[in-house]
Amino acid sequence: MSEFEAEVKKAEKELEQGLIPVGNGGFGDGTMNDEFLGDLKMQAQEYGQQIKDAAEKARDFASEKFTQAGDKIKDLSSKDPKELVEDAKEFARQKPGQTILISAAVGLVLGLLLRGRK
């Protein structure tokens, strides 16, 4: 189980523990309180379901992206370094503007990382 899945399970358990049972008793004339607590319980269940749905979507998205990244890494590791250089040159010839933007972004990130070490 991944760390993300463990966090989702933990959040689900905390949500279940935080729900209070709706019963007869406690605060004054039980009818108004039961209605109010029933509404709160329904809202909490709806929010819990929405959280579960969002977590499932996030997990699916993350696993899809990790799979795509793994495939790219396999493709890159199977290529010869000379092929990679030739591919980069060809990309730069076809899309010079995008190449400049990528280079600027990489330079900015490296600059921030190196400055952060000092």
Burial of 75 per CB tally in 10 Å (0-12, 13-18, 19+): exposed
Which of 78, 94, 110 is the last residue in one of the domains? 78
pLDDT value, residue 89: 93
pLDDT value, residue 31: 54
Spatial CB neighbours of 22, under 8 Å, sequence gap ≥ 6? 34, 37, 38, 41
Distance CA 116, CA 111 (A): 8
The verdict on 92 and 70 lying in the same domain is no
The verdict on 54 and 111 lying in the same domain is no
Distance CA 103, CA 92 (A): 11
pLDDT value, residue 1: 67
Task: Profile the chain (118 residues) by mean pLDDT over runs of 10 residues.
Answer: 79 73 51 71 89 92 91 86 90 94 94 83
Instruction: Tell me how many domains the chain contains.
Output: 2
Spatial CB neighbours of 23, under 8 Å, sequence gap ≥ 6? 34
The verdict on 71 and 105 lying in the same domain is no
- The answer to whether residues 99 and 92 touch, using CB atoms and an 8 Å cutoff, is yes
Give the structural domain span for 24. Answer: 1-78
The verdict on 41 and 97 lying in the same domain is no
Max Cα distance, the chain (Å): 81
pLDDT value, residue 20: 59
